Amino acid sequence: MRSEKEMMDLILTFAKNDPRIRVVGMEGSRTNVNVPKDEFQDYDITYLVTDIESFKEDDKWLDYFGKRIIMQKPEAMSLFPSEFGHWFSYLMLFEDGNRIDLTLMPINDLDQYISSDKLLMILLDKDKRIKKPIIPSDEDYHVKKPSPEFFDDCCNEFWWVSTYVAKGLLRREILYATEHLNLHLRPELLRMMAWKVGIETDFSISVGKSYKYIDKYLSKGVWKRLLSTYKNSTYEEVWAALFECHSLFRETSKFVAKELGYRYPDYDEKVTQYIKKLYKSKVEKRPGA
């Protein structure tokens, strides 16, 4: 695998030699001093250029960066359309394991780029367009204190979706049940757990994309319980995961409510009783449930 120095030299040398490229920026984990470095970190690079269309005419110029295993061009896809608008990006995984996510942006969008993310740094500014130094900060990614409305919406969504999971299980529709558990209910549990972490750290840290660092702030017992909710291959495992999610959410949200002075909703108890009643009457009596 090429080293970080080799990759950065490659990225900057190309930019220096191409007159269309006027500014080079980098975003993502490589600009964040709070993220441990490892070989799997992407190089999130932006070239601010004078003529995007000339780059898009032919992909051969990308061969300069190495032999690719696979490439994705989000703005050229129909099934998964990007929201970048007139920007254009190339997500490239190379044979040596390195990955570059390279975005092309009109140089006229420089101000928009600089204000789009605090976690970025400028690597090259040929025309000295940027007057003030830019210091990367992950402040925008810190856990934010929820408003009373956000707190109640999170609780409401969690308990409301719980009934969908139960309904899917009772109908023996495990894919429906696990989809609602994993894609709709679990995110609210993780959101609430992140708020608890925020309270305990004075809202001064980030738990990372997809909550990937949250285990650092949970007790071993809570972390083990959370992981147990990912066992979803049988109906009984999904029921167990649902009930454990209920327990974790209840404990966490009551802590958050108390610490922030918010009202804890009474529909927790009502929904819990409703689902447990269904489980006991229709599942516990079924052989092989």
Spatial separation of the C-alpha atoms in residues 116 and 79, rounded to whole Å: 26
Residue 180 and residue 199: Cα distance in Å, rounded? 28
Residues 122 and 153 in one domain: no
Q: What is the pLDDT of residues 212-252, one digit of tens each?
A: 999 999 999 999 999 999 999 999 999 999 999 999 999 99
Q: Domain containing 41 — which CATH number? A: 3.30.460.10
Q: How far is CA 178 from each of CA 98, 169, 172, 184, rounded to the nearest angstrom? A: 34, 9, 11, 10
User: For residue 111, what are the domain limits?
Assistant: 4-140
Domain identity same for 117 and 218: no
- 2-19 confidence digits (pLDDT tens): 999 999 999 999 999 999
CA atoms within 13 A on the CB side of 149: 0
Residue 40 forms part of a structural domain:
yes
Q: Are residues 158 and 278 in the same domain?
A: yes
Q: Give domain status of residue 162, yes or no.
A: yes
pTM here is 0.86
Sequence-ordered list of residues with C-beta below 8 angstroms from that of 91, at least 6 positions apart, any chain: 71, 72, 73, 74, 99, 101, 102
Identify whether 288 is part of a domain. Answer: no
Query: Is residue 286 scored above 90 in pLDDT?
Result: no
Encoding tokens for residue 237?
């495992």
